[in-house]
Chain A
Amino acid sequence: MGPVLARLRALRPPVTALDAAALRETCPGLEGIDRDSDFAQALVLDPKAYDAALMR
């Protein structure tokens, strides 16, 4: 998601519907899943993976 997040952070208002849709389709806004919590738990406990997932 790195390049996508860079594009997201490069947006400036007003954002066109086209730009918004192009970004949104990279990770559609579906309902969360049960395993999200397991993934999150694992991420907290794995410093390298956690650091890689930070948006900076």
Chain B
Amino acid sequence: MLILLLLPLLGAASSVAQEAPRAANAEALPNFPREEMREVLSAGFAAILDRHLERALPSDLIIWGLAGLAGMDPGLRAERLGREARLMRGRRAILARSMPGDSLRPNIEAAAAAAAELLVQFQEASWTAVPAIREAGREAMLRASFNGIFTHLDPFSRYVTPEEAQIARDRRLGQGGVGVRLAVARGQQVVVAAISPDGPAAQAGIRVGDRLISVDDELVFANDLPGAGLLLEGAAQTEVTLVVQRGGRRRSVVLRRIATQVETVRSELRDGVLHMKISGFTALTSAQVTAAVEAAFGQANPPRGLVLDLRGNRGGILTQATAIADIFLNDGEIVSSSGRHADANRRYAASEADLIEGRPIVVMVDGRTASAAEILAASLADRGRAAVLGTGTLGKGLVQILMPLPNGGEIQISWARIILPGGWPLQGAGLLPALCTAGGA
């Protein structure tokens, strides 16, 4: 009903020559998954309009999404002329349409549906007119459109295909893997960000920081990190061939997948000080930290302090990082998050007694320390509870929320900015250590 009411607005006359009137006719294109695309875009747009950290207008989503779509074929381009959006090929318009108004009334869902309806018309027109887009398929079209939008908003929001979302769910259930977690490093390289100490990758000599070139002869790309992760996964006991690079040397290794979870906490006592390395933040990490701390500091002769190694830690679950900060703080604020949506504004506070009773903590960080790891380090530093040593951290201080989509995919939206108790943000500058060891100083 809603779409019927909006269609007169969307069908306004165009001032430029159009290639094919049939492109706007839904009934003539049985192969185009119109309803699915409309539902997915509508839900995604509603989520972005409602929750993204940056305010966007419905017309922004149309134009940006159209630009993403046009990017799928070098012969296409998107144009905006006042309130008109055009998908151009050369000097002719494949389709031109007037955009609906930017009012979010009567509600965000209605505005999102109107914007989605218009973008679907452009998708359908391009599907009809451009073979390369038809061959790329619906998921590629959705990804291109959402990527076009997120390019204008922030670097961390993204569309997660149903396949990728399913993999993530399977992973929680114990899918087979090789014991590594991947990340994108500076220079747009796919690198090993965390590694299970006894997993197949570790046993083959792969280390954190190694660059992953290919999996089973398929090259991996930084702009498709989930796809790279997906290639590594499969049934337990199956083999997978990786090409990895360290420094200038490349080598090929064959690994046998095992059903395993990445261990994220390792600790050892060294000359009266507990050294603990946290390689990531999964659902079990804070419990593992608590167990290791209680085991070491619960002894009659406890360690004199703690060295927390967060170098190379790319982050993970935010609440796990705040829970770990809580282990070492008696009370007060750990960190807060701030966003446009009311639910994005949260304050995380310490509530448990400091398990190591004020003993010194030194946190080690480096340029690969990101997100939840930066939050933990910065919180302890800002509260004066830890000294920080190493090099400047990545500066990823935005929180993402996962929203389900009707096709089984998900949309990951940056919806909050992390703020330290002192009022400063992590995004951009990151955390700078009090003792800088850059250059080996």
Q: CB within 8 Å of B: which residues of A?
A: 1, 4-5, 8-17, 19-20, 23-24, 26-33, 35-37, 39-41, 43-45, 47, 50, 53-56
User: How many CB-defined contacts (below 8 Å) exist between A and B?
Assistant: 164
Give me the 4 closest cross-chain CB pairs, A-B, nearest first. A29-B367, A20-B428, A53-B387, A44-B305
State whether the Cβ of B226 lies closer than 8 Å to any Cβ in chain A.
no
The reply to whether B422 and A9 form a contact with Cβ atoms under 8 Å apart is yes
B432 touches A4 (CB 8 A): yes
Q: Report whether over half of chain B's contact residues are helix, strand or loop; otherwise say mixed.
A: loop
When A31-B367, A40-B364 are in contact, do A5 and B437 touch as well, CB less than 8 Å?
Answer: no
Q: Which residues of B contact A50 (CB under 8 A)?
A: 360, 362, 387
- Give chain B's interface residue range (CB within 8 Å of chain A): 35 or more
Given known contacts A40-B364, A50-B387, A54-B384, is B270 in contact with A27 (CB within 8 Å)? no
Give every chain A residue within 8 A of B433 (Cβ-Cβ): 1, 27
A5 to chain B, nearest CB (A): 6
24 A-B contact pairs sorted by A residue (CB < 8 Å): A1-B434, A8-B429, A9-B382, A11-B428, A14-B428, A15-B429, A16-B428, A19-B429, A20-B430, A26-B436, A29-B367, A30-B439, A31-B209, A32-B390, A32-B437, A33-B440, A36-B437, A40-B309, A41-B275, A45-B305, A47-B360, A50-B360, A55-B382, A55-B434
Return chain A residues, CB-CB under 8 Å to B368. Answer: 29, 31-32
Partner of A11, one of B275, B366, B424: B424
Q: Which of B17-25, B210-218, B237-245, B391-399 contacts A (4 or more CB under 8 A)?
A: B391-399
Interface presence of B206 (CB below 8 A): no
- Tell me if B273 is interfacial: C-beta within 8 Å of chain A: yes
- Minimum CB–CB distance from B363 to chain A (whole Å) comes to 8
**By CB atoms of chain A within 10 A, which of B271, B305, B312 has the most?**
B305
Report whether A41 and B437 are in contact in the complex, using a CB–CB cutoff of 8 Å.
no
Query: B296-330 toward A: CB 8 Å interface, digit per residue (1/0)?
Result: 00000000111101011000000000000000000
Query: In the complex, what residues of A have CB within 8 A of residue B420's CB?
Result: 9
Chain A residues, Cβ within 8 Å of B427: 13-15
CA gap between A47 and B156 in the complex, in Å: 40
A26 CB to closest chain B CB (Å) equals 7
Question: Which A residues touch B429, using CB under 8 A?
Answer: 8, 11, 15, 19-20, 23-24
How many angstroms from the CA of A40 to the CA of B271 in the assembled complex? 12
Please name all residues of chain B whose beta carbon is closer than 8 Å to the beta carbon of A8 when the two chains form the complex: 424, 429, 431-432
Q: Given A20-B395, A31-B367 in contact, is the A37-B275 Cβ separation under 8 Å?
A: yes
**Beyond A12-B424, A13-B338, A32-B391: 12 further Cβ-contacts under 8 Å?**
A1-B434, A13-B417, A15-B427, A24-B432, A27-B392, A27-B432, A30-B367, A32-B390, A37-B275, A45-B304, A53-B387, A55-B387
Of B394, B417, B432, the contact of A26 (CB 8 Å cutoff): B432
Closest to A36 in B: B364
Contact B437 A1 (CB under 8 A): no
CB-based contact A37/B304 at 8 Å: no
- By the criterion CB–CB under 8 Å, are B367 and A55 in contact? no
